[in-house]
Structure 1
Amino acid sequence: MAIWDFVKDAGKSVFGKAEAAQPAAPAATPADAPKPAAQDDTQRKVDALKAELRALGLGGKDVHLTLRGDTVKIESRGADRETMEKLVLAVGNIEGIAKVEAELPEEPVFHTVQKGETLSAIAKKHLGDANKYNAIFEANRPMLTHPDKIYPGQVLRIPAG
Structure 2
Amino acid sequence: MGLFSFIKNAGAKVFGIGKTDKEEQAEAEAAELKLEEMAAIKLKETVQDLDLKVEGLTILIDDDKATLSGKAADQSTREKVILVVGNSDGIATVDDQMTVEHKEPEAQFHTVVSGDTLGKIAKKYYANAMKYPVIFEANKPMLSDPDKIYPGQVLRIPALD
TM over 0.5: yes
> What's the CA shift string for 1:46-68, capped at 9, x where partnerless?
11111221221226452111111
Percentage of identical aligned residues: 44
2:151 maps to which residue? 152
Runs (5+) with no aligned partner, structure 1 = 1-34
| SS at 2:145 equivalent | coil
Greater mean alpha carbon deviation, residues 84-93 or residues 38-47 = 38-47
Asked if structure 1 preserves the Cα contact closer than 8 Å seen for 2:106 and 2:158, the reply is: no
2:9 maps to which residue? none
Asked if structure 2 preserves the Cα contact closer than 8 Å seen for 1:50 and 1:59, the reply is: no
1:72 maps to which residue? 66
Instruction: State the structure with more CA Rg.
Output: 2
| SS at 1:126 equivalent | helix
Alignment of 1:7-156 (within 5 A): 36-58=30-52, 60-103=54-97, 108-156=107-155
Asked if structure 2 preserves the Cα contact closer than 8 Å seen for 1:113 and 1:151, the reply is: yes
Distance in 1, matches of 2:54 and 2:95, equals 18
More strand as a share of residues:
2
Runs (5+) with no aligned partner, structure 2 = 1-28
TM-score, normalised relative to structure 2: 0.72
- Considering Cα pairs closer than 8 Å and 6+ residues apart, tell me whether 1 or 2 has the greater RCO: 1
1:10 maps to which residue? none
More helix as a share of residues:
2
> What's the CA shift string for 1:99-141, capped at 9, x where partnerless?
0111477754000000011000000000110000000000000
